[in-house]
Amino acid sequence: MFNHSSKTALVTGASRGIGKTISMMLAANGIKVIGVATSEESLKSIQNIDNIIPFCCDISNEKSVEQLYNFSKEHFDSIDILVNNAGIHMDNILLRMKTDEWQKVLDVNLNGPFYLTRILLKDMIKSKSGRIINISSISGTDGNKGQSNYSASKGGLLAFTKSLAKEVGRRNITVNCIAPGVIETDMIAHLTDTVKKNYLDRIPLKKFGKPEDIGKMILFLSSDEASYITGQTFYIDGGISLN
Ligand code: NAP
Helix axes 99-106, 148-168, angle to 10 degrees: 30
**Mutate which of 10, 15, 18 for ligand 1 pocket (most atoms within 8 A of beta carbon):** 18
Closest C-alpha residue for ligand 1 atom 19: 58
Closest C-alpha residue for ligand 1 atom 11: 37
pLDDT at 6: 82
Closest C-alpha residue for ligand 1 atom 8: 13
Q: Are 221 and 175 in contact, with CB atoms under 8 Å apart?
A: no
Q: How far apart are CA 153 and CA 135, in angstroms?
A: 11
85 lines ligand 1 (CB under 6 A): yes
Angle at 45 (CA atoms; ends 41, 50), nearest 5 degrees: 130
Query: DSSP letter at 111?
Result: I
- Report how far apart the first and last C-alpha atoms of the chain are (Å, whole number): 32
88 lines ligand 1 (CB under 6 A): yes
pLDDT at 68: 98
**pLDDT tens digits for the chain (243 residues)?**
799 998 999 999 999 999 999 999 999 999 999 999 999 999 999 999 999 999 999 999 999 999 999 999 999 999 999 999 999 999 999 999 999 999 999 999 999 999 999 999 999 999 999 999 999 999 999 999 999 999 999 999 999 999 999 999 999 999 999 999 999 999 999 999 999 999 999 999 999 999 999 999 999 999 999 999 999 999 999 999 997
Long-range contacts of 232-235 (CB under 8 A, 24+ apart): 232/176, 232/177, 233/136, 233/141, 233/158, 233/161, 233/176, 233/177, 233/178, 233/179, 234/176, 234/177, 234/178, 234/179, 235/138, 235/179, 235/181
Q: What is the largest CA-CA distance in the chain?
A: 51
Catalytic: 150? Answer: yes
* Cross-strand bridge partners of residue 35: 11, 54
pLDDT at 132: 98
**Mutate which of 34, 67, 187, 190 for ligand 1 pocket (most atoms within 8 A of beta carbon):** 187
46 lines ligand 1 (CB under 6 A): no
From residue 226, how far is each of 31, 178, 240 by CA, in Å?
16, 14, 25
pLDDT at 151: 98
Closest C-alpha residue for ligand 1 atom 44: 137
Across the chain, the runs of DSSP E, i.e. the strands, are 8-12, 32-37, 52-56, 81-84, 130-135, 173-180, 233-236
Q: How far apart are CA 243 and CA 234, in angstroms?
A: 16
Q: How far apart are CA 21 and CA 27, in angstroms?
A: 10
Query: DSSP letter at 94?
Result: G
CA 17 to ligand 1 center in whole angstroms: 7
CA 170 to ligand 1 center in whole angstroms: 31
Q: Are 105 and 53 in contact, with CB atoms under 8 Å apart?
A: no
Q: How far apart are CA 75 and CA 92, in angstroms?
A: 41
- Name the active-site residue from 69, 150, 199, 228: 150
Q: Which atom of ligand 1 is nearest to the CA of 14?
A: 9
pLDDT at 102: 98
**Mutate which of 109, 134, 185 for ligand 1 pocket (most atoms within 8 A of beta carbon):** 185
Q: Are 220 and 212 in contact, with CB atoms under 8 Å apart?
A: no
> By CB neighbour count within 10 A (0-12 exposed, 13-18 middle, 19+ buried), where does 77 fall?
exposed
